[in-house]
Amino acid sequence: MERVLRSGQFAVTAELNPPDSVDPRDLYEAALVLAGVVDAINTIDSSGANVHMSSLGTSALLIRAGYDVVMQISCRDRNRIALQADLLAASALGVKNVLCITGDDVSAGDQPEAKRVFDFDSMHLLRTARIMRDQGVFLNGRTISVPPRFLLGAVENPFAPPLHWRADRLAKKVDAGADFIQTQYVFDIEVFREFMSRVRDLGLTDRVYILAGVGPLKSPNAAEFMRARIPGVVIPDSLIERMKKTPREHWRKEGIEICIEIIQKVQELEGIAGIHVMAFREEETVAEIIHRVGLYPRSTSAQNPTQSFSEEEVPC
Amino acid sequence: MSNKLNLKLTNSTGTRLIERIILPLEKISKEVVFDCRMCGQCMLQVTGLTCPMRCPKNLRNGPCGGVRPDGNCEVYPDKPCVWVQGIERAARLPVWRGRIRELQPPVDWQLKDTSSWINWFSGRDAVYPPGWTVED
């Protein structure tokens, strides 16, 4: 992924929602659909505060199978000790890209009674990861004999208030250590265009790679649900109306159509380094979208998995 | 060394006379005015006099991506986001306006429930983790 970004090619990443299973083959099955159409797979860290296999676990499994991953690491469930420990473990296991996020609150998930941690915010995590990488020390100054090597990522939501401050927040993340950014779902292209214009004014496109978040709408109800229940997702009424006007049997097609239109508009914007495709457990749809926008095949070899493991190699 | 000259703080409250006097004063006044959470490392001057510890995620560097379209909190839909308020107020403040863009260090939880006034005076609130200050 780093190679793709640095060479100036249009990068493609996608999110993989791990099946709730300890059989690695279930994970590989889902990942195989994305093989060849993405430069790196985002492994999610119990996003939406719903329990899934940890991103450290899924990342290690996917790396063993030859994938390049972007490992999400969130501040919701771990304090600074655990975060630094996991960063070290991730690098030792071969993780090259880390996405430092604050995380959705526990109240958004399926176990809202949990205690929230939030010892760090995403900027603290970014800066700490950079200190570990560039200075070769933990936050307390203790030396790491072989420091981790990471491309550091962060997220930004151009659609959440205060809109005028979102580019400034991006600048702060770049100062804290972000090398690349993956944005929240882009559905409102006008707001995104304005955000990018401010980002360019601040000179940030020379300092950070920005991947625009995109994804298909499944149905009018799913769109309403995303807008109401997933923190930070903004979908304009016009798109919901468009989905509502579409006959039920064409929902999927129309959702993909909308997503492709958005990708094409995003590609025209100056300073966009790639896209990040998100669709909950819809890997086939993700692959179809990437095919249809002409971003296939990918030129990197990072996504050539060694296919499946033999039985004895599968860690159980 | 006599207790009077010892500026080193302890976690427990009321161990020294000066703290026994200042702590309740600070606590009462700031809780009433700012809904202060007594983190012991006050940054009200950065946030347009809005206490960031009221944020359920304890964010010290700006709003999260979960702010609702109406400007309310992701966690408490009926309450305004403290950072949306902070950014607006900081812009209206005649002083310290640009400070909201500065990268703030992690919270030192050892200072929780101690007096930020004493910590500011003694310089204890500016003691950052050694690694944090390596780069700057």
Q: Can you name the residues that pair with A40 across neighbouring β-strands? A: A13
Q: From residue A245, give the alpha-carbon distance in Å to each of A83, A252, A256, B24, B103.
A: 47, 13, 15, 62, 47
pLDDT of residue A60: 97
Q: Is the pLDDT of residue A31 over 90?
A: yes
Interval B40-63 mean pLDDT: 94
pLDDT, tens digit, 9 for 90 and up, residues A115-150: 999 999 999 999 999 999 999 999 999 999 999 999
Q: Do B59 and A108 touch (CB under 8 A)?
A: no
Give the ipTM of the model, two decimals please.
Answer: 0.88
- Quote the distance between the C-alpha of residue A26 and its chain's center: 21
From CA A35, how far away is CA A40, in angstroms rounded?
9
From CA B70, how far away is CA A264, in angstroms rounded?
29
pLDDT, tens digit, 9 for 90 and up, residues A67-98: 999 999 999 999 999 999 999 999 999 999 99
Q: Is the pLDDT of residue B14 over 50?
A: no
Confidence tier at B134 by pLDDT (50, 70, 90): low
Interval A151-176 mean pLDDT: 96
Hey, is B72 helix, strand or coil? strand
From CA A71, how far away is CA A3, in angstroms rounded?
17
Q: Give the pairing type, strands A69-74 and A209-214.
A: unpaired
- Percent above pLDDT 70 for chain A: 94
Listed residue (A225, A235, A288, A218) closest to A14, CA to CA: A288
Q: Give the pairing type, strands A151-156 and A11-16.
A: unpaired
When computed from its CA atoms, the radius of gyration of chain A, rounded to whole angstroms, is 19
Q: Please report the DSSP string for chain A in residue order.
A: -HHHHHTTPPEEEEEE---S-S-HHHHHHHHHHHTTT-SEEEEPSSGGG---S-HHHHHHHHHHTT--EEEEEESSS--HHHHHHHHHHHHHTT--EEEEE----GGGSS-TTSPP--SS-HHHHHHHHHIIIII-B-TTSPBPSS----EEEEEE-TTSSSGGGHHHHHHHHHHHT-SEEEEEE---HHHHHHHHHHHHHTTGGGT-EEEEEE-----HHHHHHHHHHSTT----HHHHHHHHHS-GGGHHHHHHHHHHHHHHHHHHSTTEEEEEE--TT-HHHHHHHHHHTT--S-S-STT----PPPGGGS--
Q: Does A162 touch chain B (CB under 8 A)?
A: yes
Q: Measured between CA atoms, how close is A179 to chain B, in angstroms? A: 17
Q: Measured between CA atoms, how close is B11 to chain A, in angstroms? A: 18
Confidence tier at A264 by pLDDT (50, 70, 90): very high
Confidence tier at A280 by pLDDT (50, 70, 90): confident
The size of chain B, in residues, is 136
> Which of A56-70, B4-18, B45-59, B76-90 has the least mean pLDDT?
B4-18
Hey, is B62 helix, strand or coil? coil
Instruction: Share the mean pLDDT of chain A.
Output: 92
Q: Is the pLDDT of residue A46 over 60?
A: yes
Q: Do B63 and A161 touch (CB under 8 A)?
A: yes
Which residues of chain A does B57 touch, with a Cβ-Cβ cutoff of 8 Å?
75-76, 102, 105, 116, 118, 121
Interval A58-65 mean pLDDT: 97
Q: Which of A165, A168, A227 to mutate to test the interface with B (most CBs of B within 10 A)?
A: A165
pLDDT, tens digit, 9 for 90 and up, residues A177-236: 999 999 999 999 999 999 999 999 999 999 999 999 999 999 999 999 999 888 899 999
Confidence tier at B4 by pLDDT (50, 70, 90): very low
Q: Measured between CA atoms, how close is A52 to chain B, in angstroms? A: 21
From CA B59, how far away is CA B81, in angstroms rounded?
11
Q: Which residue has the higher pLDDT, A303 or A162?
A: A162
pLDDT of residue B104: 95
> Which of A194-203, B13-22, B69-78 has the least mean pLDDT?
B13-22
pLDDT of residue B20: 84
| Burial of A265 per CB tally in 10 Å (0-12, 13-18, 19+) | middle
A196 phi and psi angles, rounded to 5 deg: -65, -35
DSSP B24: H
pLDDT of residue A300: 59
Q: Do B106 and A165 touch (CB under 8 A)?
A: no
pLDDT of residue A134: 96
Structure tokens given for B127: 């003691």
CB-CB contact of A34 with A286 (8 Å): yes
Torsion of CA A246, A249, A252, A254, to 10 degrees: -30
Q: What is the pTM of this model?
A: 0.90
- Percent above pLDDT 70 for chain B: 87
Interval B49-62 mean pLDDT: 95
From CA A83, how far away is CA A111, in angstroms rounded?
21
Q: Is the pLDDT of residue A307 over 70?
A: no
Confidence tier at B5 by pLDDT (50, 70, 90): very low
Residue A146: other Cβ atoms inside 10 A: 9
pLDDT, tens digit, 9 for 90 and up, residues B84-129: 999 999 999 888 888 899 999 999 999 999 999 999 999 998 999 9
Q: Does A130 touch chain B (CB under 8 A)?
A: yes
- Amino acid, single-letter form, for residue A254: E
Tokens 């863009």: give the residue.
B101
Tokens 């946030």: give the residue.
B47
> Which of A9-18, A220-229, A298-307, B103-112 has the least mean pLDDT?
A298-307
Q: Which of B103, B104, B109 to mutate to test the interface with A (most CBs of A within 10 A)?
A: B103
Structure tokens given for A160: 């959440």
Q: Which residue has the higher pLDDT, B18 or A244?
A: A244
| HSE, side-chain direction, 13 A CA sphere, residue A66 | 14
Q: Do A232 and B66 touch (CB under 8 A)?
A: yes
pLDDT of residue A281: 83
Structure tokens given for A71: 């490992």
The size of chain A, in residues, is 316
Which of B69, B129, B132 is facing A161, going by the closest CB pair? B69
Residue A304: other Cβ atoms inside 10 A: 14
pLDDT of residue B131: 87
CB-CB contact of B105 with B129 (8 Å): yes
| HSE, side-chain direction, 13 A CA sphere, residue A238 | 5
pLDDT of residue A315: 42
Q: Do A105 and B61 touch (CB under 8 A)?
A: no
pLDDT of residue A184: 96
Interval A246-268 mean pLDDT: 95
Q: Does A120 touch chain B (CB under 8 A)?
A: yes
Q: Is the pLDDT of residue B135 over 60?
A: no
Which residues of chain B does A108 touch, with a Cβ-Cβ cutoff of 8 Å?
66, 74
